[in-house]
Structures are given as C-alpha cells and as structure tokens.
Amino acid sequence: MSQLKRGGAKKYDPHNSVRMPAARGFLLYLLPMPMLFLALMRMLGGNSSSALGFALCFALCMGAATLVRKGLNIEQEAQRRKIVRRSSAVPYKAIGAGVLGVAIFIGALLGAKITLVSSLLLGVAAAVGSVFTYGVDPSRSAPDMSAVGVTSEEVIEILDEADQKILAIEAARGRIHNVEMKDRLQNIVKGVREITDIVEEDPRDLRRARKFLRTYLDGAQRVTEGYADTHKYGDDGVLEENFRNVLVTIETVIEEQKGKLLENNLTELDVQIEVLQMQLEREGV
C-alpha cells in the first residue's frame, strides 16, 4: 500500500488567495491596442481587407491574453496547494500561446500585407515568446491517494471551504470592538489554519477532520457573524457572556482536535464535537 508522507505543506496566506487574479499576463491586454487603432485607420481609409486583418488580430490577442491569464491563475493555485487536482485540466497557457501566434500571423499577413513566410515567422516567434515569458502549464497530476480513501479534488474542496469560512470569521472579527473577543477569535483562526495545514500535509487526516472543518467550523462562522451583527446595536451583558463561553469552548476543541489528529483518536473527538454543537444551540448566540 502506498504511503503519503508528512511535511512540506505551505502555510495558507489570505493575501495570496487563488481567487485573486494573477498580475502577470496583464501586459498581453495592452500590447494589441495599436492593432485596434490600425484597424480603425484602415477602415476609414477604405482598406477593408487590411482593417479586417488588424481587427481579427486584436480580437485573437484578447482571447490569447484571457487564456494565458487563466493558466497563470491555475499555476498560482498549484503553487499555493501542496495537493493538486487531477491531470485533466486544460493547458490554457499553451493554447493561449498558440492563439497569440495565429493572431500575429493574421495581423502581419492580412493587416500589414507582409509576405507569407515572414508572417509565419512572426507568428511562431510570438508563440515561442509567450512560452518563454509565461512558462508552460503546471503538471496537474494528482498524488496517489489509494491509501487515503478520498480524491485530491475532495481534499482541496474541503480545504477551500475552510479557507472561506476562516475569511468570513476574520471579516466578522473586524466588526467586533471587544478586545478580548477579537483576541480569542484571532487565536481560533490561527488554530483552524494549523488544522488545515495538518490535513494538507497528510490527507489521511481528512477522515478525522472532516466533521470539524465542515460542520463545526460552519457553526463557528455563523455564531461569530451573528454576534458581530447583534453587537453593533450595543453591548448586551448576557449575549457577551454567552459568546465568551462559546469562544472558550471553541478554543478548547481546536486544541483537542489538533492533538487527536496527531494521536489518530477519532471516537472521543466526535463526542466532544457533538457536545459543542449542543452548546452552540443552547447558548443561542
């Protein structure tokens, strides 16, 4: 049976989220702008074939830029996560380079009226230049998870959901003015990220952390957002005490969750999470 080794997972960085578009590749949207200007000039001058050539070149360059940027975003995701998806992803950067080469070929041949051989060479140079500038598409091969019982897509999906819940808790924390509550929430966020790091290092731990990351973390997000929404209307001693009790319990469960993941003790932890869920409902925060 194959084994997955621990170690080497990258820390989650909310400022480097996969949903943030890659800055690289934006130049590809700017460089074709002269083509649009030339197309308008040739159309006004009555040279419709040349105008069409430059217009097609501009449109294809825009499409190439979009494809390359998509590939760069996928590459950013592959670098952020130790675990990658299966190898069925489209090679967007390679396709974008090809489209760019075709665009330059058409612009040179039909727009600028350059010879066929020269236009072909320019197109090839543009495609090769795109590959040299932005690189090739990252390998999307998934690790062997036969010993884990889950697919890489399932692991990434749960980790991404946990990341979004963490961000939601942090956003709610920003609306809370009580220093003690803010500090406790900061500790909670730090602890949850440590748990996601453990799972990313060894996906076998997902079996033990699945309930925490999906059910329990979702409850922690709701109770935090509910307190933040209610707290803005003024202090409430009972509400504040209930929320403090819940946060203390959450901090305790997080520490126990980390310990149980390392000890591989699932049954006792499930009981503790069930008790905490009942407390969340009972406190009514």
C-alpha to C-alpha distance for 216 and 225, rounded to whole angstroms = 14
pLDDT tens readout for residues 181-196: 999 999 999 999 988 8
The dihedral formed by the CA atoms of 173, 177, 181 and 184, expressed in degrees to the nearest 10:
50
H-type alpha helices, the chain: 27-30, 33-44, 48-80, 92-106, 116-134, 152-173, 179-201, 206-211, 217-231, 237-263, 267-283
C-alpha to C-alpha distance for 51 and 194, rounded to whole angstroms = 58
Q: What is the mean pLDDT of residues 103-120?
A: 94
C-alpha to C-alpha distance for 64 and 90, rounded to whole angstroms = 14
Q: What is the mean pLDDT of residues 162-167?
A: 92
C-alpha to C-alpha distance for 21 and 89, rounded to whole angstroms = 18
| Domain range list for the chain | 14-134, 152-283
Handedness of CA 175, 176, 177, 181 (dihedral sign): negative
86 has pLDDT over 60: no
Q: What is the mean pLDDT of residues 39-44?
A: 91
pLDDT tens readout for residues 243-280: 888 888 888 888 888 887 767 544 444 555 555 666 56
Q: Tell me, yes or no, if the pTM score tops 0.85.
A: no
Q: What is the mean pLDDT of residues 12-27?
A: 52
Q: Are 244 and 181 in contact (CB under 8 A)?
A: yes
